Structure formats: structure tokens, C-alpha cells
Structure 1
């Protein structure tokens, strides 16, 4: 999760370059429960890693560079 759309778009581009992913990461806005203000939305960068090819620790570090964090489904 990332704090704003610009960070999410930049992270999605950089993710493919840094980790050599074939699939393009998608971004998605997620409003926080009970919040009506758009300022309270979080931005997600979605990327499927069905082959478990990506290192979770490296992804955690990557997300932290954008003031975000990684979550698993």
C-alpha cells in the first residue's frame, strides 16, 4: 500500500524494471472503511507472483522506499 497515486504509478513502473517482471503491475485505489474523504484512500500496486519468483524481503525493502508496505492475499 502506498500513500498516493503518483507514488503508486512510479512504483509500478520501477517494479518491472528492478525485478524483471513480465506482467505489468496494476494500481488500484482502496478507500479506508468508513472514510468518505478521498485523502484517506490508500493506493495498491498489484502484482501476481504465482511462481514465487520474487523475494519477499526485497519486495518489503522496495515498498519501504515508497513509504508503503507489502501485503499478501
Structure 2
């Protein structure tokens, strides 16, 4: 079953580092998508979070492991 995992990171640097590590740590073949997510009501660009969207076409990634991995970068796995 195809799944999509969204990891929320505090800044672009953390998001880029996590995205680079994903293939080595989890064997993710498809390039993760990085998306800037401005917080509702926030005008300051510094308050933006970054999302790393990971396609999991075979549903083989462990959400708990992804959440732990994101926590290493002060982030988390968004609940589906």
C-alpha cells in the first residue's frame, strides 16, 4: 500500500540534512520533496517550518523509525 510520510523540521538546513541522510539510512530511492511551510499567522520567514515529503510506494518505511530519525534533527513525523 502506497504511503506518504511528512517529516516536519525546524529549518531548511535540518530539512536538507535529513533528506540527504534518508537514502542511506532507509534506502529511500525517490528524492524527498522539501516544502517550506509558513506557520499560519506568521509574517516572519524565520518562523517557517520545513516539510520533507517522503513517498513510500511499497509501504515499507516504519513510521516510528522515521519519527525517531526526525527527532535527531529536532523534528517529528506528522500524523497521517
TM exceeds 0.5? yes
Structure with bigger helix share is 1
Unaligned runs of 5+ in 1: none
What's 2:45 paired with? 38
Unaligned runs of 5+ in 2: 1-7
Distance 1:17 1:42 in 2: 24
Aligned CA-pair RMSD: 1.0
Aligned length: 73
What's 2:3 paired with? none
Q: Please, what TM-score do these two structures have when normalized by structure 1?
A: 0.93
Q: Please, what TM-score do these two structures have when normalized by structure 2?
A: 0.85
Structure with bigger strand share is 2
